């Protein structure tokens, strides 16, 4: 094991710690860690990320279920279009994307570059969401009222994005649950973890059918992330979540810019 791989496994631990501390966001680092520290192909990296995100979110969801914070009806309504979209994306759309998308003189836009650039753009959106950190908070006494058409559309869009980039999409799901299902913020965060777990793991099933999986490597990486979650939950007692989320948002922003520069540097 070389130094870069050791940094990669430390990254797995950090991903879990961030998830445990702020309930989301850390999973957006899994693809860059797999691609740049372990040299994994971007398509395979997005598949591995779905597994890590799914298992990590499931651990967090179980913790929230014990606390009675998960709204199962909302999770089911949102999850159905999301997991259908993510499965179809991983099973059919991603494998169908041609290796060379665009050729202009000496410039070739490959499938791998396109995925990483698109991922960086999603990271930019996520970072701005975390930096601003201004989400509407409904009245806790408000009765849950579903806007079914918009929830289905949002669920499908999040599913497609998750399928392409391998991130959980919590920064899109949580505002949707607050605005469209009128859930209080704590319930929205808790419920989003269950949604993320369901759609990510079902999406990963689409990858098992189309690519070889290094299970020993993936299991070790995921185990470190899960351990990090428990460490993050413990650290959560001592750290201001809002300040941490904003600081992490700036870090994700820098990472997104780094990916864009790195992917276009060799062009």
Greater confidence (222 vs 238) lies with 222
What is the residue-wise DSSP string for 94-121? HHHS-SEEEEETTEEEEHHHHHHHHHHH
Instruction: Using CA atoms of 49, 51, 54, 60 in order, give the dihedral in degrees to the nearest 10.
Output: -90
Q: What pLDDT score was predicted for residue 166? A: 72
With bands split at pLDDT 50, 70 and 90, how would you rate the model's confidence at 8?
A: very high
Instruction: Write the pLDDT tens digit of every residue in 102-115.
Output: 887 777 888 888 98
- Give the pLDDT band of residue 24 (cuts 50, 70, 90): low
Answer yes or no: is pLDDT of 68 > 60. yes
- Average pLDDT of the chain is 84
Distances (CA, A) of 104 to 8, 18, 115, 152, 254: 35, 41, 18, 39, 29
What average pLDDT does this structure show over 248-252? 84
For residue 136, pLDDT over 70 is answered with: no
Does residue 147 have a pLDDT over 60? yes
| pLDDT given for residue 243 in this prediction | 77
Q: Which of 16, 2, 14, 8 is nearest to 36 (CA)?
A: 8
Q: In this structure, what DSSP letter does residue 128 have?
A: H
Domain that holds residue 80: 3-265
State how many domains the chain has: 1
61-83 mean pLDDT = 89
Q: Would the pLDDT of 165 be above 90?
A: no
Positive or negative: CA dihedral 164, 165, 170, 175: negative
For 181, phi then psi, to 5°, come to -110, 0
Q: Greater confidence, 209 or 54?
A: 54
- Cβ–Cβ < 8 Å for 67, 190: yes
The torsion defined by the Cα of 44, 49, 51 and 54, in degrees rounded to 10, comes to -150
Residues 185-205, mean pLDDT to the nearest whole number:
86
- For residue 108, the cross-strand partners are 103
Q: What percent of the chain has pLDDT over 90?
A: 20
Predicted local confidence at residue 249, as pLDDT: 84
Bridge partners (DSSP) listed for residue 67: none
Lowest-pLDDT choice from 145-149, 203-207, 221-225, 236-240: 145-149
pLDDT of residue 181: 79
Residue 218 or residue 130, greater confidence: 218
Residue 127 clears pLDDT 70, i.e. is over it: yes
Residue predicted with more confidence, 138 or 194: 194
**pLDDT mean over 208-220:** 91
- pTM equals 0.81
Read off the pLDDT band of 154 (50, 70, 90): confident
What is the arithmetic mean of pLDDT over 110-139? 80
Confidence label for 220 from pLDDT (cuts 50, 70 and 90): very high
């Amino acid at each position: 094991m070389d130094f870069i791989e050791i940094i990669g496994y430390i990254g797995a631990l950090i991903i879990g710690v961030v998830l445990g501390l702020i309930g989301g966001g850390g999973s957006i680092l899994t693809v860059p860690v797999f691609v740049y520290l372990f040299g994994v192909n971007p398509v395979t990296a997005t598949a591995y990320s779905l597994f890590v995100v799914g298992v990590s979110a499931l651990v967090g969801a179980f913790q929230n279920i014990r606390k009675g914070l998960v709204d199962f009806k909302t999770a089911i309504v949102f999850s159905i279009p999301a997991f259908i979209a993510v499965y179809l994306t991983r099973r059919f759309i991603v494998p169908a994307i041609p290796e060379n998308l665009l050729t202009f003189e000496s410039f070739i836009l490959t499938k791998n570059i396109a995925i990483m650039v698109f991922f960086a753009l999603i990271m930019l959106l996520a970072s701005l969401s975390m930096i601003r950190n201004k989400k509407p908070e409904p009245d806790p006494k408000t009765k849950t009222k579903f806007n079914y058409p918009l929830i289905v559309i949002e669920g499908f869009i999040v599913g497609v994005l998750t399928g392409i980039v391998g991130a959980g999409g919590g920064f899109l799901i949580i505002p949707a649950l607050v605005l469209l299902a009128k859930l209080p913020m704590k319930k929205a965060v808790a419920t989003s973890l269950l949604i993320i777990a369901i759609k990510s793991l079902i999406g990963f099933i689409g990858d098992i059918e189309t690519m070889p999986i290094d299970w020993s490597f993936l299991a070790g990486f995921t185990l470190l992330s899960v351990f990090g979650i428990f460490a993050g939950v413990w650290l959560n007692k001592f750290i201001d979540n809002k300040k941490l989320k904003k600081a992490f948002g700036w870090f994700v922003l820098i990472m997104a810019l780094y990916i864009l520069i790195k992917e276009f540097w060799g062009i």
